[in-house]
């Protein structure tokens, strides 16, 4: 894949460090929250019209994002009304950007298998870049020629730029970062903390009642 000028531009948004424990909620501007649902690069997991949506901004080379990845499927299995939205927020390295380009290209071919891709890619050891992402996508049945063409397309580049800009505007300087309702969390939320926030959203429309 060709590395367009986007690479240096996206990296300039800020190289957020890996997520930390003890993430605390902060209210986010409603006008920015509305932009999340318009991101072309987001991947929505779970049923249509779920009553609670949890959004995760992640980077494929973020250690705590790796911890978060295998928690998604059990959350969705236990909560049939939950929407879990994944936003490729590639801010840590060029490798992260290239992996995310392949990830979005895969989602354009096989959206129903994106969670499989997400889990398998995070299960790989070492730095995650284009080559390992391509291998993971091909193992899940992606068409190689289409995958590479889509990964290098303006559509994918623009989607990643939009996600990077929105994350910056939201003030997300750590990965993973999450949105639940009007609240943003910077740093890793474990599965129990996610469940509590979801339960509270249903009880009082806030992540902490």
Q: What share of the chain is helix, strand, coil (3-state, %, to 5)?
A: 50, 15, 35
Confidence (pTM): 0.91
Whether 1 maps to a domain, the answer reads no
Any domain includes 21? yes
> Is residue 67 situated within a structural domain?
yes
In this structure, is residue 209 part of a structural domain?
no
Using DSSP, state whether 73 is helix, strand or coil.
Answer: helix
Say which residues have a Cβ less than 8 Å from residue 111's Cβ, sequence separation at least 6: 43
Using CA of residue 90, residue 91, residue 92, residue 97, what is the dihedral sign? positive
The pLDDT of 81-85, averaged and rounded, is 98
Instruction: Decide if 108 is inside a domain.
Output: yes
In a domain, 112, yes or no: yes
**Statement: residue 106 has pLDDT above 80:** yes
Q: What is the domain-level CATH number for residue 173?
A: 3.40.30.10
**Domains of the chain: total:** 1
Predicted confidence at residue 9, as pLDDT, reads 44
Token pair for 58: 């992640």
Question: What does the pLDDT read at residue 160?
Answer: 97
Q: Is residue 56 part of a domain?
A: yes
Q: In which band, very low, low, confident or very high, does the pLDDT at 22 lie, cut at 50, 70 and 90?
A: low
Burial class (CB in 10 A: 0-12, 13-18, 19+), 170: buried
Token digits for 110?
């096989």
The CA distance from 3 to 192, in Å, is 39
Is residue 158 one of the residues assigned to a domain?
A: yes
In tens, the pLDDT along 54-76 reads 999 999 999 999 999 999 999 99
Gyration radius (Cα) of the chain, Å: 16
For 123-178, what is each residue's pLDDT tens digit? Answer: 999 999 999 999 999 999 999 999 999 999 999 999 999 999 999 999 999 999 99
pLDDT top residue among 20 and 109: 109
Contact between 185 and 173 under an 8 Å Cβ cutoff? The reply is: no
Question: Residue 61 is part of which domain span?
Answer: 6-204
């Amino acid at each position: 894949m060709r590395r367009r000028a986007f690479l240096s531009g996206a990296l300039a948004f800020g190289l957020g460090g890996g997520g930390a424990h003890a993430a605390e909620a902060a209210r986010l501007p409603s006008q920015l929250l509305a932009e999340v649902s318009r991101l072309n690069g987001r991947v929505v997991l779970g049923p249509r019209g779920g009553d609670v949506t949890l959004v995760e901004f992640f980077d494929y080379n973020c250690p705590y994002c790796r911890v978060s990845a295998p928690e998604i499927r059990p959350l969705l299995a236990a909560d049939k009304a939950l929407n879990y939205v994944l936003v490729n927020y590639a801010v840590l390295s060029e490798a992260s950007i290239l992996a995310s380009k392949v990830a979005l290209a895969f989602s354009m071919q096989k959206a129903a298998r994106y969670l499989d891709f997400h889990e398998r890619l995070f299960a790989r050891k070492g730095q995650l870049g284009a080559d390992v992402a391509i291998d993971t996508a091909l193992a899940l049945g992606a068409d190689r020629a289409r995958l590479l063409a889509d990964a290098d397309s303006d559509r994918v580049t623009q989607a990643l730029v939009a996600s990077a800009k929105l994350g910056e505007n939201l003030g997300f300087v750590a990965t993973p970062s999450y949105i639940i309702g009007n609240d943003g969390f910077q740093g890793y939320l474990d599965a129990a903390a996610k469940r509590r926030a979801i339960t509270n959203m249903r009880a009082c429309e806030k992540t902490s009642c």
